[in-house]
Amino acid sequence: MKYDIAVIGGGPAGISAAITAASKGRKVVLFEAHGFSPRLRSVEKVADYMGIPDVSGSRLMDIFVEHLRMTDADVVEEKIIALKEVGEGFELGTPSGVYEADAVVLATGISRSELLTGEKEFLGRGVSYCAKVDGMNYKGKKVIAIATVPDALAEVEYLADICEHVFFFPRYTGFVPPKKKNITVVMETPLEITGTDKVTGLHTDSDFFSVQAVFMFRASDPLNSFLPGLQIRGRSVYVDDQAETNIEGVFAGGDCTGQPWQCNRAAGQGQKAALSAIRYLSKRDERIGY
């Protein structure tokens, strides 16, 4: 399906961007795969959001989502695993579909994960972010699954159904051991993905695992892992004062652009990113004679 603007991320910045763009008559889709900002939902009390004092983070997010559902914006509760420039626009891939958009707003929040050594180099050659998309390529083979979020367990078990063996590295607290016999839980620290043309294994802090693929499951991946060329400063997306990134047609707002990590700032930046995307599309349409 084709959209004017695709928003990646369902926190305060992403929802603000989607509401703003939809209110201006643009066809908008928002992608959110992890329950609309688990980080904000974990906050017991938000005391400084204007007009809604002393509210829990979970209730505040519910209010934002309720507002979003009242607009014409489409919501796709899936993770973006691929994003690439195609012609004058962009193609976005999820585990179950492909979408097109003329502009993109990044509102993914903070990526707390560093890329493993070798992860970027072997992306598409044994490194994957989605079991349902790439799992069948490794049917009957040994693979590794590294997860930093509990809801990745379904994908780990999916891999176990089709692969010979899965070495599961849970990188979060309170995990429940999978019951499938061909899943081995490994509590060592993954350090480096190795290979030649394709992945051949993974080094940990104390061992080496010979496998044909490494699947990474995170709440948010480092943005330049699926959008090569995106300018990053530290862990943040670099934007100018109009929320523009270094890639034409891509804008960003909220925590992914750096500190301060505040709900008010995120909502305002999401709005700015959406308005900049709308101006970009209007100028582009004039240039090509739409």
**Model confidence pLDDT, tens digit, residues 231-255:** 888 778 999 999 999 999 999 999 9
Q: Any bridge partners for residue 147, and if so which?
A: 170, 217
Domain boundaries, the chain: 2-112+221-288, 127-217
Please tell me the predicted confidence (pLDDT) of residue 42: 81
| Number of other residues whose CB lies within 10 A of the CB of residue 114 | 9
Q: Is pLDDT at 285 greater than 80 in this prediction?
A: no
Indicate the fold that domain 127-217 takes in CATH.
Answer: FAD/NAD(P)-binding domain (3.50.50)
Say what the pLDDT of residue 196 is: 92
Q: How many other CB atoms are found less than 10 A from the CB of residue 120?
A: 14
For the ranges 21-30, 68-77, 147-156, the lowest mean pLDDT is seen at 147-156
pLDDT at 113 over 70: no
Task: Give me the phi and psi of 138, to 5 degrees please.
Answer: -120, 30
Please state which of the ranges 21-30, 93-102, 171-180, 219-228 shows the lowest mean pLDDT: 219-228
Q: Which two tokens stand for residue 55?
A: 């509210």
Report whether pLDDT(149) > 90: no
How far is residue 152's CA from residue 248's CA, in Å, rounded to a whole number? 33
What CATH code would you report for 2-112+221-288?
A: 3.50.50.60
112 vs 219, higher pLDDT: 219
Domains 2-112+221-288 and 127-217 fall in the same CATH topology: yes
* C-alpha to C-alpha distances, 51 to 2, 46, 66, 119, 255, nearest whole angstrom: 36, 11, 16, 44, 21
- d(Cα 282, Cα 266) in Å, to the nearest integer? 24
Provide the pLDDT confidence category of residue 150 given band limits of 50, 70 and 90.
confident
Averaged pLDDT, 170-181: 87
Q: Is the pLDDT of residue 167 over 80?
A: yes
Residue 288 has what pLDDT? Answer: 60
Most confident segment among 108-122, 173-187, 261-275: 261-275
Mean pLDDT of 155-183: 92
Regarding beta strands 127-128 and 232-233, do their DSSP bridges make them parallel or antiparallel, or are they unpaired?
A: unpaired
- Residue 290 pLDDT greater than 60, yes or no: no
